[in-house]
Structure 1
Amino acid sequence: MHYLSVLALACACLASPAAAEVVETSGDHFVTRDEAIVKAAPRATWLALISPGNWWDDDHTWSGEAANMSITPQGGGCFCERIPEVETPTSVGLAGSAQHMTVVLARPETVLRMRGGLGPLQSEPVDGVLTITLQPDKASGGTKIVWEYVVGGTMRFPVERISKAVDGVMSQQLAHLADKLGRAEISAASSPSATSDDATPALAPTEVKDADEVAAELDKMGRKDD
């Protein structure tokens, strides 16, 4: 499965002002930010968050199955994926693995922070920091999840294009987690975003345009090493 082609598909399906929040870009960095409010309490939300095999999208894995994904929620822990062996009539398969990110901060029920380049960014000399904060939402009685991914450094992809595609994928994963936990109704009291020491103040989202063009360009990039 080619990760870039999947990214292009996700961009085409999800790129819209409502779904995509690329809040900041420059020549060598971008920031994506998404949020959701779920019915579950912070503890239940945390326990679901650190079990990505139960909600991550199969299409955004190297192995093709989200069940192979895991997070060890401690400093230095791994957001990893097992790539099972594939047996054939003529050869014995060998298992592999992928390290998607490394945990740098785990505060149960509050914040999970990890470093690493997801998907095609893994092949680039960039650094990414994914911060996921959990806050009790008084209006709904559930939990507000804020999901921010900051990427910086040299990359061979045009920032304006890859940032929109990556945000589409991030939005999709958060949507899967929120659906699993049950979405809560968003009231006026839940917006604008509350901030904490571990959360970044909300910035105005950049409207995403030309989704088909973005998808086609990313797919073209992906075919370079097929």
Structure 2
Amino acid sequence: MALAAGLFAVCTAAPAAVKDVAANGFTIENEQTVPVDPAAVWKALVGEVDRWWPKDHTWWGAGSTLSIDPRAGGCFCEIGRDGKQQALHMTVAFVDPGKTLRLLGGLGPLQGMGLSGAMEFRLAPAPQGGTRITLYYRAGGYTPDDLSKFVPVIDKVQGLQLAGLADYLRKPTDTAKPKADATP
């Protein structure tokens, strides 16, 4: 339940752009530019999600493992530390490697509220070099709760999640480090 608690906790990430909001849904868009090419962003996005997605925004925290199967019908899934706890966060709906990943579903508490959404990671070369990553999320559906009250927090969490990917991609690689000598 760390995800639910984390979603409603105060976040320090810069807010995303709330494009529209209503009692039954919303659209949020956030952007980050990173100093690597779209192929490197794609590799980290789908192949290394467990290394950059904030663990305080998962169901089982640091002991869990996240993965994205980048194919239509694939799973953005989480496995708890003992392997028995499992969550399908979202389903992969569209894959254009190096350009677009579209996931369907409601994240965190939105899933339990019976809401659905479409999340896209859009990758494009940035004019100044590197890659512009746009995280777009539209969610909604019937709920007796007024979703507009949740949007400021969801907005901050989305910014935190994209910042996790961007910060991960901005870290220097280990290629310059000498390998340890394996000889005795």
> For residue 170 of structure 2, what is the aligned residue in structure 1?
182
Q: How does 1:1-226 map to 2 (within 5 A)?
A: 1-9=1-9, 12-14=10-12, 19-50=15-46, 51-65=48-62, 68-85=65-82, 95-139=84-128, 141-182=129-170
Q: CA RMSD in A?
A: 1.8
Output the CA distance in 1 between the equivalents of 2:20 and 2:136: 11
Q: CA deviation at 1:3?
A: 3.0
Q: What is the deviation of 1:66? A: 7.2
After the TM superposition, which parts of structure 1 deviate over 6 Å for at least 4 consecutive aligned residues?
none
Q: Quote the residue 2:180 is aligned against.
A: none
* Percent pairwise identity: 38
1:27 CA drift (Å): 2.4
The alignment of Structure 1 onto Structure 2 pairs a total of residues equal to: 170
User: Aligned in 2, Cα 1:66/1:164: closer, same or farther, shift over 3 Å?
Assistant: farther
Question: Does the aligned pair in 2 maintain the 1:20–1:34 contact within 8 Å?
Answer: yes
The CA distance in 1 between the partners of 2:18 and 2:133, in whole Å, is 17
Distance 1:62 1:121 in 2: 13
- Alpha-carbon deviations, 1:77-112, whole Å to 9, x = none? 000000122xxxxxxxx7121000000001110000
* Amino acid across the alignment from 2:131: T
In 1, the alpha carbon distance for the partners of 2:114 and 2:133 equals: 29
- Hey, what's the Cα distance between the residues in 1 that align with 2:8 and 2:58? 14
Q: Which has the higher strand share?
A: 2
* Partner AA of 1:6 in structure 2: G
| SS of the residue 2:91 aligns to | strand
The structural deviation recorded for 1:168 is 1.0
1:103-161 per-position Cα deviation (integer Å, ceiling 9, x unaligned): 0001110000000010001112221000110001131x100000010002012432122
| TM score, norm. by length of structure 2 | 0.86
Q: Is the 8 A contact 1:14 1:20 kept in 2?
A: no
- Unaligned 5+ residue runs, structure 2? 172-184
TM-score, L = length of structure 1: 0.71
Q: Which runs of 5+ in 1 are unaligned?
A: 86-93, 184-226
